[in-house]
Structure 1
Amino acid sequence: MQITFISQIAEIGAERWNALCAEDYPFVRYEFLHALETSGSVGAGTGWQAQHLVAYEGDELIAAMPLYKKTHSYGEYVFDWSWADAYKRYGLNYYPKLINAIPFTPCSGTRLLSKNTKREAELLPAIVAAIKNQALNINASSWHCLFPSAELSALLVEQNISQRLGAQFHWFNRDYKNWDDFVATMTSRKRKNINKERRIVAEQGIDFIASRAQEINKEDWKLFYQFYCNTYLKRSGHTGYLTETFFELLRENLAEHCLMIIARKANQPIAAALFFVDSKTIYGRYWGCLAEYDFLHFETCYYQGIEYAIKHGLQRFDGGAQGEHKIQRGFEPIATYSNHFLVREDFQQAINRFLESEKPSVELYIQDAKTYLPFSELRVIKQ
Structure 2
Amino acid sequence: MSDAPVEITVHRSINDIEASNWDACACPEAMDGRPLDPFTTHRFLKALEDSGSVGPGSGWQPQYLTAMQDGLIIATAPLYAKGHSQGEYIFDHNWAHAYENAGGRYYPKLQIAVPFTPATGRRFLTHPGFEVLGMSALVQGAVQLAAQNEISSLHATFCTEAEALAGAEMGLLSRIGQQFHWVNDDYADFDTFLASLSSRKRKTLRRERRQANCFGGEIVELTGDQIEPKHWDAFWVFYQDTGNRKWGTPYLTRDFFHHAHDHLRDDMLMVLALRDGQPIAGALNFIGRETLYGRYWGCVEHHPFLHFEVCYYRAIDYAIRHGLARVEAGAQGEHKLARGYLPAATHSLHWFGDAGFKDAVDHYLQAERDAVDHEIEVLTSYGPFRKTDMEDHQ
Provide TM-score, normalisation by structure 2: 0.94
- The residue aligned with 1:287 is 297
1:122 matched to which residue of 2? 133
Query: 1:257 is matched with which residue?
Result: 267
User: Which residue does 1:73 correspond to in 2?
Assistant: 85
**Contact 2:74–2:130 at 8 Å: present in 1 too?**
no
Give the corresponding residue for 2:11: 6
Report the counterpart of residue 254 of structure 2 in structure 1. 244
Q: Which runs of 5+ in 2 are unaligned?
A: 1-5, 30-34
Aligned match of 1:98: 110
In structure 2, distance between residues paired with 1:233 and 1:358: 31
Counterpart secondary structure, 2:323: coil
What SS is found at the alignment partner of 1:333?
Answer: strand
**What secondary structure does 2:67 align onto?**
strand
Aligned to 1:278: 288
- Cα 1:346–1:224 change in 2 (3 A) is same
CA distance in 1, matches of 2:85, 2:125: 24
Q: Give the deviation of 1:236 after TM superposition.
A: 4.3
Aligned pairs for 1:174-213 (under 5 A) are: 174-213=185-224
Match among 52, 55, 64 for residue 76 of structure 2: 64
Corresponding residue number in structure 1 for 2:382:
372
Q: CA deviation at 1:266?
A: 3.0
Alpha-carbon distance in structure 2 between the residues aligned to 1:204 and 1:57: 58
2:368 maps to which residue?
Answer: 358
Contact 1:96 1:139 in 2 (8 A): no
| Contact 1:169/1:333 (8 A) holds in 2 | yes
**CA distance in 1: counterparts of 2:77 and 2:242, whole angstroms:** 32
Greater CA drift, 99-108 or 54-63:
54-63
**Structure 1 unaligned spans of 5+:** none
Match of 1:133 among 138, 144, 163: 144
Structure 1 pair 160–213 and aligned structure 2 pair: CA distance change class (3 A): same
SS at match of 2:73: strand
Letter in 2 for 1:281: T
- 1:133-152 mapped onto 2 (5 Å cutoff): 133-152=144-163
Kindly report which structure 2 residues correspond to 1:156-175, keeping only aligned pairs within 5 A, or say none.
Answer: 156-175=167-186
3-state SS of 2:344 partner: strand
- Counting only pairs closer than 5 Å after superposition, residues 43-54 of structure 1 correspond to structure 2 as 43-54=55-66
Stretch moving more, 149-158 or 56-65: 56-65
State the distance in 2 between where 1:189 and 1:381 align.
19
Which residue among 38, 42, 46 is the counterpart of 1:34? 46
Q: Cα distance, 1:350 vs. partner?
A: 0.4
Question: Which stretch has the larger CA shift, 372-381 or 207-216?
Answer: 372-381
Could you tell me how far 1:380 is from its partner in structure 2?
Answer: 4.5
1:19 counterpart residue number: 24
User: How big is the shift at 1:15?
Assistant: 1.9
CA shift at 1:57, angstroms?
Answer: 1.4
1:311 equivalenced with 2:321 (yes/no): yes
| 2:226 equivalent to 1:226 | no
* Residues 197, 386 of structure 2: 8 Å contact kept: yes
In 2, Cα distance between the equivalents of 1:123 and 1:278? 23
How big is the shift at 1:227? 1.4
C-alpha contact 2:213 2:306 (8 A) present in aligned 1: no
- Rounded Cα–Cα distance in structure 1 between residues aligned with 2:392 and 2:176: 18
Partner of 1:347: 357
Deviation larger for 19-28 or 328-337: 19-28
Q: Which whole-Å CA distance do the structure 1 matches of 2:310 and 2:171 have between them?
A: 42
Count of matched residue pairs: 380
The whole-number CA distance in structure 2 between the counterparts of 1:205 and 1:151 is: 47
Q: 1:129 to 1:294 in 2, by over 3 A?
A: same
Q: Which moved further from structure 2: 47-56 or 21-30?
A: 21-30
Any conservation in 2 of the 1:31–1:250 contact (CA below 8 Å)? no
Cα root mean square deviation, aligned: 1.3
**Percent pairwise identity:** 42
**Per-residue CA distance 1:278-302 (angstroms, 9 max, x = gap):** 2211000011111211111111110
| Structure-1-length-normalised TM-score | 0.96
3-state SS in 1 of match to 2:213? helix
- Aligned pair in 2 of structure 1 residues 56, 15: CA closer, same or farther (>3 Å)? same
**Which one-letter code corresponds to 2:244 in the other structure?**
L
1:294-348 superposed Cα distances (whole Å, 9 cap, x missing partner): 1111111101111111111111001011111111000011111101100111100
SS at match of 1:19: helix
What SS does the aligned partner of 1:254 have?
helix
1:227-271 Cα shifts (integer Å, max 9, x gaps): 111222244443x11011111111111211111011012332101
Structure 1 Cα separation of the partners of residues 392 and 103 of structure 2: 46
Q: 1:214 aligns with which of 209, 213, 225?
A: 225
Instruction: State the alpha-carbon separation in 1 of the partners of residues 241 and 359 from structure 2.
Output: 44
Match of 2:32 in 1: none
1:85 and 2:97 correspond: yes
